[in-house]
Amino acid sequence: MVLENSIEEFIERFRTDAASGNLYPQPEGSVLLEFVAAGQVVYLFDRTGPYTAKPGPARVIVHPVLKTFSPSEIQEESLVVTQISALEGVGKITRTEKGFLIVQAKMPLVCGLLDHEQPDLKPGDWIRFETRPPTHGFYLVK
């Protein structure tokens, strides 16, 4: 399954699903964005270029790929960083697109699906999930 055709197309497609938070300065040559949102420090694989993201308040599309997911009877958002650039939590699906579940789990997550079948899930459903590292980050230029 192809999850994106280009960085620009992905950003335009999911711009409204960006998370608000703060970026810390990026060390020279680093491919990781240090993004703080929803009380978590998340390291994101920078998809928008090594010198595009500016430190300070920012909007970033947080794009993990799901490793596992299942319906959740728990209906309370949670999000935990389990290792560098990997997440797990519980969230509510806000919308679906072919190959994606957009999940609100303390912050909006544009979760990619590598399976060829779209799961039988709909907006309003709650899921428990675990992601594969790295989680990608698409910085939105103001």
pTM check: above 0.75: yes
Listing DSSP states for 61-123 in one string gives: EEEEEEEEEEE-S--S-EEEEEETTEEEEEEEEEEEETTEEEEESSSEEEEE--SSSPPS--T
Tokens in use for 41? 């420090």
Residues of the chain with pLDDT under 50: none
Residue 116 has a pLDDT of 64
* pLDDT for the residue numbered 2: 62
Compute the distance between CA of residue 18 and CA of residue 60 in angstroms, rounded to an integer.
5
Helix-then-strand count for the chain, H and E: 1, 9
